[in-house]
C-alpha cells in the first residue's frame, strides 16, 4: 500500500463531506438551487425567500447535522469494538447494543409509563438518551460477562450478540403488543431508524454525547493499536488494559445510546466504514478513527438524502437503506474473512 499523507486524506474527506452536505441541502421534495443555498447559509437573516430559508435552516440543516454526528459516532464505535474484540464483525448493531438500548428505553416508556413520566418531568429532553445509554451499558455489561467466560472468543462474541438481539426483539414485540396507537408510531420510528424527527434542540445533547464519547475513544488510539498485538503485549507496553478497555466501552455506550435515542436503530454504519477506511489507508488507529468517523458521517448523510428523494414525496426510513448497504457487506465479511488484516 502506497503511503498517503494523512493531511491529504483529511482534506479529501473534508471536501467530500462538504459536497455531500450541499447535495443534501439541495435535494428534496422542494428542489433548491446551489445559489439559493449559499445565499441562505451566508446571509440567513436576509429576507430573500422566507420559505427557502425555513426549509434549509429549520428542516434540512438540523437533519444534516444529526446525520453527520450519528454517522460519525456509529463508525467510531464500530472501529473501536473491532479493535477491542479483535473481531471484524463487531459493531453496535450486530453485538446487540443498539437493540438492547432500544428495548430498555421502549420498555420503560411503554411498560413503565409512570416511571417514564416522572423521569421526563425531571430530565426533559435528556430522558430518552439517558435511558438508551443505560440500556446500551447494560447490554455491553451482559455481553462482557458472558464472553469473558470463554476468553472473548470472536465467534462466541458474535453468537452472544445474536442472542441479545433475539431477546431484545422479544421485548420490543411485547411493547408493540401492549402499546397504544401513538406509542406504536414511536416504536415503528425506532425500529426502522429515521432522521425525520430531527430538530435543532436535539443537536446540542447529541453533540455533547458524541464529543465526550469520541474524545474518550480517540484518546485511546495508541492503546487500540497495541491491543491489535494482544492483551498481554499491550500490558507489557505499559497500558492499563482493563481500565482502558472500560473507558473505550464507556465511549461506545455514550455514542450508541445517544444515537438510538434520537434516530432509532440504524445498523451497519459501524461495520462498513471502518473496514473500507482500514483497507484504503491502513490500521493505524491514530488516523483510522478519524477516517472512519468522516466516512460514517458521509455514508449516513448520503443514505438519508436518498431516503428523502428516491421515492419522493414518500420518505423511506434511513435504517432500511443502511441495512441494504450493510447486509451484503456483512455476508462478504463472513465469506471472505481474509479482508480482516488488523496487523498488516
In a domain, 311, yes or no: yes
**Does residue 278 form part of some domain?**
yes
| pLDDT for res 43 | 77
Q: What is the pLDDT of residues 197-230, one digit of tens each?
A: 889 999 999 999 999 999 999 999 999 999 988 8
Supply the DSSP string of 180-234, one letter for each residue: -HHHHHHHHHHHH---TT--GGGHHHHHHHHHHHHHHHHHTHHHHHHHTT-HHHH
The predicted structure's pLDDT at residue 185: 83
Answer yes or no: is 8 within a domain.
no
Read off the CATH number of the domain in which 171 is found: 1.10.3470.10
Task: State the pLDDT confidence band at 339, using cuts at 50, 70 and 90.
Answer: very low
User: How far, CA to CA in Å, does 59 sit from each of 5, 53, 101, 207?
Assistant: 37, 9, 27, 18
**Is 3 contained in some domain?**
no
Using a cut of 0.85, tell me whether the model's pTM lies above it.
yes
Note whether residue 24 is domain-resident.
no
Confidence check: pLDDT of 164 > 50: yes
Q: Name the average pLDDT for the chain.
A: 88
What pLDDT, in 10s, does the model give residues 41-83?
A: 887 776 667 788 888 899 999 999 999 999 999 999 999 999 9
Q: Alpha helix locations (H) across the chain? A: 6-26, 34-42, 50-54, 61-85, 97-111, 113-123, 127-148, 154-178, 181-192, 203-219, 221-227, 231-236, 241-263, 269-281, 285-309, 318-335
Q: Residue 21: inside a domain, yes or no?
A: no
pLDDT digits over 116-134, tens only? Answer: 999 888 888 788 888 988 9
Residue 151 confidence (pLDDT):
64
pLDDT in the model for residue 26: 92
Domain assignment present for residue 29? The answer is no
Tally of domains in the chain: 1
What pLDDT is stored for residue 48 in this prediction?
66
pLDDT, mean of residues 278-299 = 94
Q: What average pLDDT does this structure show over 263-267?
A: 88
pLDDT of residue 284: 94
156 pLDDT tier (thresholds 50, 70, 90): confident
Of the pLDDT bands very low, low, confident and very high (cuts 50, 70, 90), residue 336 is low
Tell me if 168 sits within 8 A of 96, measured CB to CB: yes
Domain that holds residue 175: 49-339
pLDDT of residue 71: 96
Greater pLDDT, 125 or 139: 139
135: confidence class by pLDDT, cuts 50, 70, 90:
very high
How much is the pLDDT for 11?
94
Residue 341 has pLDDT above 70, yes or no: no
Cell of 147: 464472553
How many Cα atoms occupy the beta-carbon half-sphere of 199 within 13 Å? 4
Average pLDDT over residues 277-295: 94
pLDDT in the model for residue 79:
96
> According to the model, what pLDDT value does residue 140 have?
87
CB 196 within 8 A of CB 62: no
Q: Is 253 a member of any domain?
A: yes
Looking at residues 238-242, what average pLDDT do you find? 89
Amino acid at each position: 500500500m502506497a503511503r498517503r499523507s494523512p493531511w491529504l486524506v483529511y482534506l479529501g474527506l473534508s471536501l467530500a463531506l462538504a459536497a455531500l452536505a450541499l447535495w443534501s441541502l439541495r435535494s428534496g421534495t422542494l428542489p433548491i438551487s446551489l445559489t439559493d443555498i449559499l445565499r441562505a447559509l451566508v446571509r440567513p437573516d436576509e429576507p430573500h425567500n422566507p420559505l427557502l430559508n425555513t426549509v434549509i435552516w429549520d428542516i434540512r440543516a438540523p437533519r444534516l447535522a444529526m446525520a453527520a454526528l450519528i454517522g460519525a459516532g456509529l463508525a467510531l464505535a464500530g472501529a473501536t469494538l473491532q479493535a477491542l474484540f479483535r473481531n471484524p464483525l463487531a459493531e453496535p448493531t450486530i453485538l446487540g447494543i443498539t437493540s438492547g438500548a432500544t428495548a430498555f428505553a421502549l420498555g420503560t416508556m411503554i411498560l413503565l409509563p409512570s416511571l417514564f413520566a416522572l423521569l421526563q418531568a425531571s430530565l426533559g429532553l435528556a430522558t430518552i438518551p439517558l435511558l438508551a445509554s443505560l440500556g446500551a451499558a447494560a447490554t455491553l455489561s451482559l455481553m462482557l460477562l458472558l464472553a469473558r467466560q470463554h476468553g472473548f472468543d470472536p465467534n462466541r462474541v458474535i453468537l452472544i450478540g445474536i442472542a441479545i438481539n433475539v431477546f431484545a426483539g422479544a421485548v420490543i414485540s411485547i411493547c408493540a403488543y401492549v402499546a397504544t396507537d401513538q406509542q406504536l408510531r414511536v416504536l415503528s420510528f425506532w425500529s426502522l431508524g429515521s432522521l425525520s424527527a430531527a430538530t435543532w434542540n436535539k443537536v446540542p445533547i447529541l453533540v455533547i454525547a458524541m464529543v465526550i464519547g469520541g474524545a474518550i475513544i480517540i484518546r485511546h488510539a495508541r492503546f487500540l493499536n497495541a491491543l491489535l498485538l494482544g492483551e498481554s503485549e499491550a500490558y507489557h507496553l505499559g497500558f492499563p488494559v482493563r481500565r482502558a478497555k472500560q473507558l473505550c466501552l464507556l465511549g461506545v455506550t455514550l455514542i450508541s445510546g445517544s444515537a438510538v435515542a434520537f434516530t432509532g436503530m440504524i445498523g451497519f454504519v459501524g461495520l462498513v466504514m471502518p473496514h473500507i477506511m482500514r483497507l484504503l489507508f491502513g490500521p493505524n488507529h491514530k488516523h483510522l478513527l478519524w477516517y472512519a468517523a468522516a466516512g460514517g458521517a458521509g455514508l449516513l448523510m448520503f443514505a438519508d438524502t436518498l431516503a428523502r428523494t428516491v421515492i419522493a414525496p414518500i420518505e423511506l426510513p434511513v435504517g432500511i437503506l443502511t441495512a441494504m448497504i450493510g447486509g451484503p457487506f456483512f455476508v462478504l465479511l463472513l465469506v471472505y474473512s481474509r479482508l480482516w488484516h488488523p496487523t498488516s
